Homo-oligomer: A and B are copies of this chain.
Amino acid sequence: MQFSKSTDYALHALLHLGHSERHGNVGIKELSGTLGVSESYLSKIMSKLRQDGIVRAIPGVNGGYELARPADQISFLEVIQVIEGRQQWFECSNTNSQQHSLLADNGTVQRGRERSDNCQCLVEKVMNGAELHLYQYLREHTIQTTLDEAFNRCNNEVNKK
């Protein structure tokens, strides 16, 4: 249960793009050098980010990447989902087991009625609840907020001196 390195790289790459937005494009060489990852590998990641409309790619001489939208509209959640996929964190394996009957259909199977929405699986309820809870947090944190915070922190640091 860990975020993949790809996610790590993607976030750092986007932060770098957000930070040097004024300078225009950033080539894979610069990105690769900054992050300390091979160009080949990072290319794959950037490609994914492009396919999902998070960055733009300009091929050819002096090409490179740039953010496809303002940095405050790129949330951590979206980046994570692009790289890690959008599958649910908890997925029920065997809905046919007895256990399922115990937790989800208790009180309804005897009456032979179809499963009620009110009586849904409670394990999934907790886990999906946790997931949604986390999503809310990750949605509120964007590339921009992270960059802003970096500036504020370090400015305070300087002023305190």
Contact = CB atoms under 8 A, between A and B. Distances in A.
A129 B151 CA distance: 19
| Interface SS, A side | helix
A96 interface: yes
Interface of A: 1-5, 8, 11-12, 15-16, 19, 33-36, 76, 80, 84-85, 87-94, 96-99, 102-103, 106-108, 116, 118-119, 122-123, 125-127, 129-130, 133-134, 137-138, 141, 146, 149-151, 153-158
Given A15-B102, A119-B157, 19 more contacts: A1-B4, A1-B85, A12-B123, A15-B99, A15-B123, A34-B99, A36-B94, A36-B98, A103-B150, A108-B154, A118-B156, A122-B146, A123-B146, A125-B149, A126-B146, A129-B137, A130-B134, A130-B137, A133-B137
